[in-house]
Structure 1
């Protein structure tokens, strides 16, 4: 079971020049909001209904991955992964209205709301992970990245379908199209890594694990 992969080389380097953060070890002393509390945060920040619907499906996918990882013996905290997925677009509606980077702003808000950096890291990095893909050390952000890349609006789709939509909607310049392609390549590599590590074909998966948390 190989739970890590080095980032690919590319003409447009989006990898961080800094070392990766320390491995994320679940701290039982840190608070983890449940779904009801996350929805209260959505309301407090006036989340749009379509963004909320998207977030619920992303959380469904991420939760499935977390449950499966636990079944495979990985040290993954399912409620932490689910909370991070539920909050990954906490700043999306604000940035639609006022501008700004919704992942960076959302990560900052999530730290303030939860006091839990593991949850916030999944929010900050849900668009792209600028380090090596290492599921053993960084399962939460990588699960949220992958889940987000499998949900177009509130519908489960393939990665290729999701990125065609992203290109159609946001690919207005060559640099943006290059960044979208880099994130697509990472999503495909992450999917392969997850399939191999979790021993499941994610393209044949309904991501239905019931009410597990």
Structure 2
């Protein structure tokens, strides 16, 4: 597993994660260390990912891939395929935890680590809700870009950060503690947005990255 860990943020992730199986089933798809789109979808099938979560993941991957390509052109050492795979797999455990409870970041990271053997992907999945370290795109481009890309997609729509976090407050802001944590996450997402915009040399606040129409 990645060396860095996080404290869960979202209300839906507050419970302790369920015990994952000691080993994957014998018929679990074996995929590359950096899975292709087809291999990521094989894992979606294996873990029974819901259709709406698949659509969300596709859009998050589109945003993350576009940002990765722009950062690569700007001179950062970015593995675009790795960023895309992490985005496609970031909600791998979401369907399971909706039904059984637990932390979808932690469980998904464990599944991704076991299926791919790639700690960079597992770290991205583990930390896609919040990042517990200073924002440094050169050192931590994959997890930071995954956080931002996820926060730009509300269900199946590309939206500004404000719209996404308003939705999170409505759905999950049941206590003042949770509302405070969501606001902290919004502040972090804004900081990541500023860092990405400076890196790629363009205003990305309302960009759709070629992934679909911006919805206010």
Q: Answer whether TM exceeds 0.5 for this pair.
A: yes
Unaligned runs of at least 5 residues, structure 1: 1-29
Structure 2: any 5+ residue segments left out of the alignment? 1-31, 212-216
Q: Work out the CA distance in 1 between the residues paired with 2:80 and 2:200.
A: 15
Matched, 1:119 2:121: yes
C-alpha deviations, 1:146-197, integer Å up to 9, x for none? 0000000010000000000000000001111111111011001111111011
Q: 2:169: which partner in 1?
A: 167
> 2:193 touches 2:205 (CA, 8 Å); kept in 1?
no
| Structure 1 residues 99-178: aligned runs within 5 Å | 99-178=101-180
Instruction: Give the match for residue 43 of structure 1.
Output: 45
Residue 46 to residue 61, structure 1, CA distance change in 2 (3 Å): same
Of residues 91, 94, 100, the one that matches 1:92 is 94
Work out whether 1:65 is the aligned partner of 2:67.
yes
Could you tell me how far apart the structure 1 residues matched to 2:34 and 2:209 are? 22
Superposed displacement of residue 204, structure 1: 3.8
Is structure 2 residue 200 aligned with structure 1 residue 202? no
Q: Distance in 2 between matches of 1:88 and 1:196?
A: 25
How far did residue 206 of structure 1 move? 2.2
Aligned residues: 180
| Offset at residue 205 of structure 1 (A) | 1.9
1:112-141 CA distance string (max 9 Å, x none): 011001111110000000000010011000
Q: Does 1:192 align with 2:211?
A: no
- Flag as ranges the 4+ runs of structure 1 deviating above 3 A: none
Secondary structure at the counterpart of residue 90 of structure 2: coil
* 2:20 equivalent in structure 1: none
